[in-house]
Amino acid sequence: MVYDPRIPERNTCVLGALIEKWADQKPDHVAFIFADETQWTWAEVLDLTRRAAAGFHSLGVSHGDHVLSWQPNCKEALLTWFALNYLGAVYVPINIAYKGNLLEHVVQLSDAKLIICHSELAPLLNDIDVGQHLSDVILTGEPVLVAGLNVHPLDVLRQEGQGEVPGVLVEPWDCMYIIFTSGTTGPSKAVMSSYIQTYTMAVEAVLDITGEDRILANLPLFHIGGTIHIFITAVLGGSCVLIDSFKTDEFLPVVRKYKITYACLLGAMASFLLKRPPSEDDRDHGLLHGMTVPWNEESRAVAERYGLRMRTLFNMTETCAPLRSDTNPTILGTCGKPREGVEVRVVDENDCEVAPGEVGEFIMRTDRPWAMNHGYYKNPEATAAAWRNGWFHTGDAFRYDEDNNFFFVDRIKDAIRRRGENISSFEVESEVAAHPEVGEVAAIPTPSNFGEDDVMIVVAPVPGHQLNPLDLFRFLEQRMAHFMLPRYIRVLDELPKTPTQKVRKHLLREAGVTTDTWDREAEGIQVKRQSLDNS
């Protein structure tokens, strides 16, 4: 028995123990519903998990082993995760968009001997060097040839009579999964997370739901936004609908069909919902509450239009929801206030705390052991840099006010500096997104003839609409400080994104000013500093 009361008990945070608990206490409760309308009760989840765990064990998987999962959101992906953790193995999901060098990087870095993947993805393994460890692959669809690997059918995970499942004691501080960062600014890093970290994130991020709620999980299971909602379901013994992705026109029909009461709206999701044509049945649904990031004019308008009780927060794969807001906060732009159990600071480059209102890097630590990531796998340099001085450094620029409200400013690497002014790409994007015909936006720096940067925005219109750069610029003139106004505007059909809907800004920066980019200076438009009459 662990004396420290800050460490949760196994049957409250270890996934296998949770499945066993709910299978015993509420065996007939519907736990998961899938896109093909298959339903699993908690008793069925335990049975299927044990069968799959026996199959993995027959292939040599044991406690602590890393196993890759390369699958879209589906029954097989969920079962892979559950069965691996049931054995005490480490679940290592891969982004389904990866290919080439990026795929090779994560496969080799993982040290996995086994990968389970969708048959349509498997041929991409033939194009890379899988390294010295990977030897076996389980295919979830039709058989295909994967050079140099032993290929196994999915039936290996459907052991009759459950097969042999070794008795394994999985501890709360064991590594539960390794999730790769998005790689929007550089090579993906492999974040190691314990059961305690995931449990802490789950119970601290969501305060408004119980085991009677039904959660919508529509973010990928290789992303913390997807995994956390599955784990919340397991912690609460609740119910969850797992679908592949967010689709604006299908969102409310799915909510109504499956009687969903909680959902997460990240990034452009709120914007897309707001820009749907208003309808008299906008509030005719069972959705009660949810999480949205960021909390801006659009998020507030969505909460009001659809009658939702929404919170916002700050979180990342490496952390455990250190900031969270009240329901439908009145202050736009807030990420909330520090929750109990965390210490947070906003600091300069020397880790010295800055004053309220000033911008610095957000750093944090917790009083619960193992409640944060325990490093980047096989990357001690990045681990040491992130954890310097005993605090985890997020790489995010923040400011805070006298009332201890915290505000995200930008990723530090995305900040724009124009003629002595520091410009938040996040704030530029928020203003551009207010235009009714803008569906997506990214603000990026581009080299200026005078040194430092010029501001460039890349936008995609709402489907069915067209954007005129000059009209958009005139709209922004009425809303933005002169130094924030873009010199360049480029219009695309859609922005390049990761499957977790993060814009790949590095691709836009690399493309720079293209032949189809509108340039205000070429149009003869001059932007001048506002002058005040002091006479």
Residue 181's pLDDT is 83
What is the mean pLDDT of the segment spanning 89-108?
89
What is the mean pLDDT of the segment spanning 431-439?
91
Kindly tell me if the per-residue pLDDT of 1 is higher than 80. Answer: no
The helix/strand/coil state of 341 is: coil
Q: Could you check whether the bond before residue 8 is cis, i.e. omega within 30 degrees of 0?
A: no
| pLDDT tier for residue 183 given thresholds of 50, 70 and 90 | low
Neighbours of 417 (CB within 10 A): 13
Check if 42-194 and 246-411 are the same fold: yes
Identity of residue 299? S
Return the H-helix or E-strand segment holding 145.
none
Nearest Cα residue to 486 out of 435, 413, 412, 411: 435
- What 463-467 contacts at long range (C-beta under 8 Å, 24+ apart), as own/partner pairs, is 463/439, 465/437, 465/439, 466/437, 467/435, 467/437, 467/438, 467/491
Say how far apart CA 65 and CA 136 lie, in whole Å: 14
Instruction: For the sheet with 262-266, list strands across it.
Output: 39-41, 30-34, 239-242, 214-217, 262-266, 289-293, 309-311
Percent of the chain with pLDDT over 90: 74
Q: Characterize the bridge pairing of strands 150-152 and 39-41.
A: unpaired
Please, which residues have CB within 8 angstroms of residue 524's CB and are 6 or more apart in sequence? Answer: none
CATH class of 246-411: alpha beta
Nearest Cα residue to 435 out of 487, 491, 499, 397: 491
Say how far apart CA 421 and CA 305 lie, in whole Å: 37
Residue 187's pLDDT is 65
Return the H-helix or E-strand segment holding 333.
none
Say how far apart CA 217 and CA 290 lie, in whole Å: 11
What is the mean pLDDT of the segment spanning 13-24?
98
pLDDT digits (tens, 9 = 90+) for 386-423: 999 999 999 999 999 999 999 998 778 777 877 666 67
Say how far apart CA 355 and CA 161 lie, in whole Å: 64
Kindly tell me if the per-residue pLDDT of 222 is higher than 80. Answer: yes
Residue 259's pLDDT is 97
- Give the chain's radius of gyration (CA, Å): 24
Nearest Cα residue to 248 out of 206, 277, 222: 277
Kindly tell me if the per-residue pLDDT of 435 is higher than 90. Answer: yes
Please, which residues have CB within 8 angstroms of residue 3's CB and are 6 or more apart in sequence? Answer: none
Residue 426's pLDDT is 79
Asked if residues 31 and 41 have their Cβ atoms less than 8 Å apart, the reply is: yes
Kindly tell me if the per-residue pLDDT of 102 is higher than 80. Answer: no
- Ranges of each domain in the chain: 42-194, 246-411, 421-519
Structure tokens belonging to residue 80: 């892979």
Residue 53's pLDDT is 96
pLDDT digits (tens, 9 = 90+) for 505-517: 888 988 999 999 9
Beta-sheet strands, E only, within 182-247? 190-194, 214-217, 239-242
The helix/strand/coil state of 17 is: helix
Say how far apart CA 247 and CA 116 lie, in whole Å: 27
Structure tokens belonging to residue 408: 């995200």
Asked if residues 526 and 485 have their Cβ atoms less than 8 Å apart, the reply is: no
Kindly tell me if the per-residue pLDDT of 146 is higher than 70. Answer: yes
Residue 420's pLDDT is 60
The helix/strand/coil state of 116 is: strand
SS3 of 231-288: the string is HHHHHHCCEEEECCCCCHHHHHHHHHHHCCCEEEEECHHHHHHHCCCCCCCCCCCCCC
Kindly tell me if the per-residue pLDDT of 158 is higher than 80. Answer: yes
Say how far apart CA 1 and CA 16 lie, in whole Å: 18
The helix/strand/coil state of 137 is: strand
What is the mean pLDDT of the segment spanning 70-94?
97
Beta-sheet strands, E only, within 448-531? 453-461, 488-491, 518-519
Residue 499's pLDDT is 52
Residue 161's pLDDT is 63
Structure tokens belonging to residue 46: 């335990």
CA neighbours closer than 13 Å in the CB half-sphere of residue 463: 8
Look at 529 and 178; give whichever has higher pLDDT: 178
Say how far apart CA 97 and CA 78 lie, in whole Å: 18
CATH class of 421-519: alpha beta
Q: Does domain 42-194 have CATH number 3.40.50.300?
A: no
Mean model confidence pLDDT for the chain: 91
Structure tokens belonging to residue 294: 């960021």
Kindly tell me if the per-residue pLDDT of 65 is higher than 90. Answer: yes
Least confident window among 127-136, 367-376, 476-485: 476-485
Kindly tell me if the per-residue pLDDT of 440 is higher than 70. Answer: yes
Identity of residue 140? T
Residue 163's pLDDT is 63
Say how far apart CA 480 and CA 485 lie, in whole Å: 6
Structure tokens belonging to residue 491: 């219009």
What is the mean pLDDT of the segment spanning 239-265?
95
The helix/strand/coil state of 227 is: helix
